[in-house]
Amino acid sequence: MINQDIFHAMTIKLEACDIPKEIPKMDPSIRRAPKRVVNLTEDDIKLALKNALRYIPEEFHEMLAPEFLEELMEHGRIYGYRFRPEGRIYGRPIDEYKGNCTDTKAIQVMIDNNLDFAIALYPYELVTYGETGQVCQNWMQYRLIKKYLENMTQDQTLVMASGHPTGLFHSNPYAPRVIITNGLMVGLFDDYDNWARGAAIGVANYGQMTAGGWMYIGPQGIVHGTYSTILNAGRLFCGVPADGDLRGKLFVTSGLGGMSGAQGKAGVIAKGVAIVAEVDISRIHTRLEQGWVNQIAETPEEAFTIAHEKLAEKEAYAIAFHGNVVDLLEYADAHNEHIDLLSDQTSCHAVYDGGYCPVGISFEERTRLLAEDRKTFRELVDKTLKRHYDVIKRLTDKGVYFFDYGNSFLKAIYDTGVKEISKNGRDDKAGFIFPSYVEDILGPELFDYGYGPFRWCCLSGKHEDLIKTDHAALELVDPNRRYQDRDNYVWIQDADKNNLVVGTQCRIFYQDAMSRTAIALKFNDMVRKGEIGPVMLGRDHHDVSGTDSPFRETSNIKDGSNIMADMATQCFAGNAARGMTMIALHNGGGVGIGKSINGGFGMVLDGSLRVDEILKQAMPWDVMGGVARRAWARNPHSIETVIEYNNKNQGTDHITLPYIASDDLVNGLVEKVLKK
């Protein structure tokens, strides 16, 4: 078979008109991804070239092959920069997109929103956030995806495999429009090194959680998660009353960009004072321009001096410390600075890829070492992680509450050989001596009830549509039912005032299964009546049922099933079966390849009765599948929630509940047998 036959067998493809004559100019002020270093063999390099050229008609191979090879050697990846559209990419109003149905135009809005300069971490490399989380692998894929979405109908489904558009397949309006998978490695090869090789040769994509699932809404999502986390941590561990906030409390953390840069904003909304360490001044300036941090401090002494002033005044304030968090914490330890809440939010799932910066070197030196001397860089990272761990131990001995923010920080320390961090003293299966934020806080207080990061985007691009949805959501929430509802009621009530939108007009709102369903149906009715334009519903994959991750989302699963990925996979499959518009399943997420499986969705509200029917089936399933698993793990609040759900849904839904064995019975029998 010759390439000419292949060309004529496709109607949707890249053609001569899709190949720009010049590589577009790149804005030097925009952050660029560091070089990705992988030990490729000569055969691997040949594979990478062949794989990239698969998208290109043969007549252009001779021109593009040297260009692609140069990209691979210089950047460690073939990005196909020539194929990036000129200028700014952003989520435009839905009516400005080509397409044969609302669904496919809506998906294009979400893709472009992920690549907005104001949102994306490394937009020229298609990285949305989390250091390595990409929309797709390269710009050829981006162009081809757009072509598919512009041409397909409601009777077709686009299949995406690690950024590659596999093709269109006949379906129906009740089937998903797009099915996405990213980085699903076969078990034997499910590790970082094999993924890095796969990414370099063009067969694996790191979806993060919502980057490759095309549902990232900017840092607002993590603002809410961090807000809920620190507010509840204050209540559980710092004596804050159930209806109180963090006035007079200090939250210290690090990382102002890799995982979102949300901490300062969340601290202020929770009415506390936050110090956030960051080594990259460009990320600090981004948050300063957005108003998400109030002031830059250049020394630890300056940071704590400002914090003392604001704490004394009970003023909510966010300080960005330009420097390494280890220096900040060692200063706090040496000078007995009191810290109420301590965490880390650097991208430790990519700890040797630039997600974590060694102490004692500049950010510029970090970037040079990443490109030129990975061995030295890795050694410095390992030394810093151990030093970071040591200072945290000293601070917690003084009464500081430290929690892992689910960024693989504690796992990274464990992997350096610090085995004492293991909770059971043997391995990492039972977690670590410091709790994950899900284990202590979000799991029992939110996820076990079904509360999670429900979100929506107003596809018209009109701010007034977002305000209307805010008001509609508030009408459906009873702030007196639980304190969780009161917290989230206040969140939505103040959301516009807090200027949370970055990029497209989106909102996040932690709600449980039935509240999500009611809100979704209300929004669809508003679209039907012409009160607002179409809406895209979704959630972070970090949710009740979307993610199996033993060091994060399922860290409060104590029945041994924390190492299983059935829940996320079933969630993904169930959402497909019920007709969600877009479904995604990823490996890695916020904790790293091989450490989690993440399932997510996007659902377009076009005002149709078809959508009503899908929502009634899919929304409760998307949440309650996770509550069911948590109940089966004997989590008390999930058992309470399932009992209530079973009673309300007799004849349609029914969830299996566990009988609780007596600890005295089990312990006594086992001890007796083992003594024999």
| Tens-digit pLDDT profile for residues 299-318 | 999 999 999 999 999 999 99
Could you tell me which residues come within 8 angstroms of residue 591 by beta carbon, excluding any fewer than 6 positions away?
A: 349, 406, 407, 408, 411, 549, 551, 552
Question: Is the pLDDT confidence value at 552 over 70?
Answer: yes
- Give the long-range contacts of residues 65-69, CB within 8 A, separation 24 or more: 69/45
What distance in Å separates the CA atoms of residue 130 and residue 97, rounded to the nearest whole number?
A: 28
Asked whether the beta carbons of 672 and 665 are under 8 A apart, the reply is no
The type of residue at 143 is: R
Question: Residue 77 — pLDDT band, cuts 50, 70, 90?
Answer: very high
Q: Range with the lowest mean pLDDT among 96-105, 240-249, 529-538?
A: 240-249
Task: State the pLDDT confidence band at 4, using cuts at 50, 70 and 90.
Answer: very high
Tokens of 223: 């603002």
For the chain, give every domain's residue range.
Answer: 1-153, 219-421, 443-649
Whether 219-421 shares its CATH topology with 443-649 is answered no
Query: 590 pLDDT exceeds 90?
Result: no
Do the beta carbons of residue 599 and residue 584 sit within 8 Å? yes
Please state, in angstroms and rounded to a whole number, the distance separating the CA atoms of residues 110 and 459.
9
Residue 398's pLDDT is 96
10 Å CB burial of residue 115 (0-12, 13-18, 19+) is buried
Residue 1 has pLDDT above 90, yes or no: no
pLDDT tens-digit profile of 428-472? 888 899 988 999 999 999 999 999 999 999 999 999 999 999 999
Q: Which of 145, 178, 137 is nearest to 584 (CA)?
A: 178
Neighbouring CB atoms inside 10 A of 616's CB total 15
Tokens for 598, please give them. 């993440």
CB 259 within 8 A of CB 265: no
Res. 260: pLDDT tops 80: no
Contact 590, 259 (CB under 8 A): yes
What is the arithmetic mean of pLDDT over 413-436?
90
Q: Where are the beta strands (DSSP E) in 323-434?
A: 341-342, 401-402
Q: Which of 323, 264, 256 has the alpha carbon at shortest distance from 292? A: 264
Indicate the pLDDT class of residue 634, thresholds 50, 70 and 90.
Answer: very high
Question: What CATH code is assigned to 443-649?
Answer: 3.40.1770.10
Q: What angle do CA 72, 73, 74 make, to 5 degrees?
A: 95
Distance of CA 241 to the CA centre of its chain: 30
Give one DSSP letter per residue of 398-412, joined into a string: TT-EE-B-SSSHHHH
Instruction: Give 676's pLDDT tier (boundaries 50, 70, 90).
Output: low
Question: Cα separation of 264 and 295, whole Å?
Answer: 10
Q: What's the mean pLDDT when you consider all of the chain?
A: 95
The string of pLDDT tens digits covering residues 313-339 is 999 999 999 999 999 999 999 999 999
Does the structure show a pLDDT above 90 at 243?
no
Report pTM: 0.93
- Extract the tokens encoding 330: 């060692």
Domain 219-421 architecture: 3-Layer(aba) Sandwich (3.40)
pLDDT at 187 over 90: yes
- Residue 119 makes CB contacts below 8 A (sequence gap 6+) with 113, 128, 129, 216, 218, 219, 502, 503
Residue 594 clears pLDDT 80, i.e. is over it: yes
> Is residue 222's pLDDT more than 90?
no
According to the model, what pLDDT value does residue 630 have? 98
pLDDT in tens, 374-393: 999 999 999 999 999 999 99
